[in-house]
Chains A and B, each alone.
Chain A
Amino acid sequence: MIHVIAFYLFAVMTVGSGAITILARNPVHSVLWLILAFFNAAGLMVLTGAEFIAMLLVIVYVGAVAVLFLFVVMMLDIDFAELRAGFVRYLPFGALVALVLLAEIVLGIGAYRAGSLDLGTPDGTAAAGTGLSNIEAVGALLYSRYLFLFEAAGVILLVAMVGAIVLTLRQRSGTRVQNIRKQNMRRPDEATVNVKPESGKGVQL
């Protein structure tokens, strides 16, 4: 019973916050609703027993993608009135794309009903061990069979980081950097000064 209640709770919240994501007038609000939708989708994943995907949704989509969206939305100067003005003009094209997608969905479901493709049979090297949760199964493969590739993937990330820093970091002349020693050595009488400003003249510094 609690499963059913939880499912309907998460499902309604997902669909509802998805709808508000589209309908909200303020783009920042849209992104926040999107994050709520991600959280509820993660809840749905937990219900189906895919706890690894649930964690990925929270970590990758909420933690990285949505925050990136938020940055982009806040940094870009988007004139939404202008965007909306083009709505009618692009409506036929949008409708066409929607129609194509609909046709594809119908075709896809038809093909699925007609029987699946003749795919290869998995050779079982990546099969999960019995009685393991998803996370344990992924970990057991990643840290044993695919250890070499896992470590090599780490090196790739390191190369990417080094590359990004090499290409963007530069020492500019004239930047003011914090010198903590100099700050600590400063005495109160060097830093503060007592003045008695005349009224209506402002302060001379």
Chain B
Amino acid sequence: MDWSHSLRLIAPEETLSIAGLILLLIAAWGGDKASRLISILAVAALVGASFLVAPALCQGAMGPDYAAFFGQVHADAFSSFAKILIYLSAASALVVAPAFLNRLGAMRPEFPVLIVFAALGSGMMVSAGDLLALYIGLEMNSLAAYVLASFARTDDRSAEAGLKYFVLGALASGILLFGMSLTYGFTGTTAFSGIDASLAGGLSTGALFGIVFILAGLAFKISAVPFHMWTPDVYEGAPTPVTKFFATSGKVAAIGLTMRVMLGAFGDQVDAWRQIIVFVALASIVVGALGAIGQKNIKRLMAYSSINNVGFILIGLAAANVQGASAMLFYLVLYIAMTVAGFAAMLMLKDENGNQVEEIAKFSGLSRTRPGLALALAIVMFSLAGIPPLFGFWGKFLVFKAAVDADMMALAFLGFAASVIGAFYYLKIVKVIYFDEPADAVKGENDIWHKAILVVTCVFISPLGYLASGWLQGLTDTAATALFQAL
């Protein structure tokens, strides 16, 4: 193995780790005053790292030439695609965080540093080619995430969210490790390519248990039913920018990792896990949709919405081919854009004291007091519901099409029917905003960054986004092909 080649391939990871360490030193000497500078530098590092990974995607990097460290890390087009999403959504969470945390008096210079390390771990997850790399990346991401969830430590809900996330996350890690040790025991290797080769002769019961436990651990991380229980509490309790980070960056990492494991290491055992994925996908769609109906808090609603959307994404995984993987990535991009827009709009909903307005009932009549913000929220909700002229529809269409093309008509039909339930609660918010008597609760002012993020993402998910769909489709196809070439 060529060391310099390997070290060149992990340049984005090196950049982020060194940036994180330097920022930590600045934090140690600069103290709380340096928070702003460190936030700016962290955003710069994340954006810079995404520029570093971009060439691999544009060149369509795939195959063994782009595997570093004996295949433990894959720096191919797939990981490049996912890393761009991860780094940019982490940067966008960091842009909106200082305003929020400063008001709580919870902004500390370690916040951007932890976000950088969490993004670093997420990047390792999506480029993992080995069970060890998978676990190390996952833990790096999770440990930072536990701390971030309880970052507003004077707030009881935030502390509770952090504790709950930590305990349940540790449980999920245990389940995942158990599955990994079974897989290692019955295949004799931790490398994905080795596992795939070893299972080619047939699947023993022990290895099947390994797959099931690994899948259970991963389902927790992507918050799919039946391992979704932590999501509403953690999303509600965590500071809103952190929730945004979990719902975007963390979600891409976990789904990218799931795709790597299921389509890579267990790619030839599709028959063994397809039925599990089908069940998890449908259950996530239904539970996410039904659970959201009764919610009064917008952050809890977004948590159920994320469970619901993960279900749709998993439909693409059940197809288990390049088309399905490509559809998953396409959906993921749209979901990230909608979530970033949704949370940016949510952070702009403040009362006259600058406190966050989270109760849906208080949004009533927003269209008359804040027409621009109301329009943005309406676009996000319609897009999440998958109403045709908006871009969100295209993601759902692609995953259903992948399922139909893979002869899974029943799955596509059930998913389609269940998406109608989901439309109900999204439309309910639009109704509250546009047709209820004004409650006049939203009064706060917002800075230019929130507005910029909101406008950019709203334009992307509006019908104008279709102009980019050809380009995006090309990228997702390249990334999905690279995923299947990674072994």
Chain A contact residues, CB within 8 Å of chain B: 117-123, 125, 145-149, 151-153, 155-156, 158-160, 162-163, 165-167
Contact = CB atoms under 8 A, between A and B. Distances in A.
B108 A119 contact: no
Given A118-B204, A125-B189, A156-B136, A163 B146 contact: yes
Interface residues of B, number: 45
B142 to A, nearest CB: 9
Contacts of A125: 70, 189, 191, 194
Contacts of A145: 69-70
Interface stretch (B57-65, B112-120, B217-225, B326-334): B112-120
A117 B136 contact: no
B187 interface: yes
A30 B105 CA distance: 47
Contacts of A167: 147, 150, 153, 162
A101 B113 CA distance: 48
Contact of A122 (B69, B70, B117, B188): B188
Nearest to B136: A152
Contacts of B73: 148
Contact of A123 (B132, B188, B204): B188
B318 to A, nearest CB: 27
Q: Which interface residue of B73, B136, B184, B186 has the most chain A CB atoms within 10 A?
A: B136
What 7 pairs between A and B have smallest CB-CB spacing? A120-B188, A163-B147, A123-B189, A120-B187, A122-B188, A166-B110, A148-B69
Contacts of B110: 162, 165-166
A147 B187 contact: no
Q: SS class of chain B's interface: helix, strand, loop or mixed?
A: helix
B137 interface: yes
A120 B140 CA distance: 29
A163 B147 CA distance: 6
Contacts of B153: 167
Contact of B144 (A117, A153, A163): A163
A153 B136 contact: yes
B144 A159 contact: yes
A155 B120 contact: yes
Contact of B140 (A118, A119, A123, A155): A155
Contacts of B6: 148
A158 B21 CA distance: 9
B393 to A, nearest CB: 39
B186 to A, nearest CB: 5
B24 interface: yes
Given A166-B110, A166-B151, A167-B147, A152 B189 contact: no
Contacts of B194: 123, 125
A162 B146 contact: no
B170 to A, nearest CB: 13
B124 interface: yes
Contact of B143 (A117, A118, A159, A165): A159
B143 A152 contact: no
A122 B189 CA distance: 6
Nearest to B151: A166
Given A148-B10, A148-B72, A149-B72, A120 B144 contact: no
Contacts of A165: 110
Nearest to B153: A167
B269 interface: no
Contacts of A118: 204
Contacts of B389: none
A160 B143 contact: yes
Given A118-B204, A145-B70, A163 B191 contact: no
Contacts of A146: 69, 72, 132
B140 A156 contact: yes
Contacts of A120: 184-189, 198, 207
A152 B185 contact: no
Contacts of A159: 114, 117, 140, 143-144, 147
Contact of B185 (A119, A123, A155): A119
Nearest to A152: B136
Given A119-B185, A148-B10, A163 B69 contact: no
A165 to B, nearest CB: 8
A152 B17 CA distance: 9
A117 B207 CA distance: 12
Interface string B10-24: 100000010010001
Contacts of B114: 159, 162-163, 166
B186 A152 contact: no
A152 B124 contact: yes
B433 to A, nearest CB: 37
B140 A152 contact: yes
A156 B194 CA distance: 26
B133 interface: yes
A158 B28 CA distance: 14
25 contacts: A119-B206, A120-B184, A120-B188, A122-B189, A125-B70, A125-B189, A145-B70, A146-B72, A148-B133, A149-B132, A149-B136, A155-B17, A155-B20, A155-B117, A156-B121, A158-B24, A159-B114, A159-B143, A159-B144, A159-B147, A160-B143, A162-B24, A163-B144, A163-B146, A167-B162
B346 interface: no
A121 B24 CA distance: 44
A166 B68 contact: no
B139 interface: yes
Nearest to B135: A149
Contacts of B17: 151, 155
Contacts of A160: 143
Given A155-B117, A156-B136, A159-B117, A166 B185 contact: no
Contacts of A151: 17
Given A119-B188, A123-B188, A159-B143, 18 more contacts: A118-B204, A120-B186, A120-B207, A125-B70, A125-B189, A145-B69, A148-B73, A149-B69, A151-B17, A152-B136, A153-B136, A155-B140, A162-B24, A162-B110, A163-B143, A163-B144, A166-B108, A166-B151
A118 B206 CA distance: 9
A123 B140 CA distance: 28
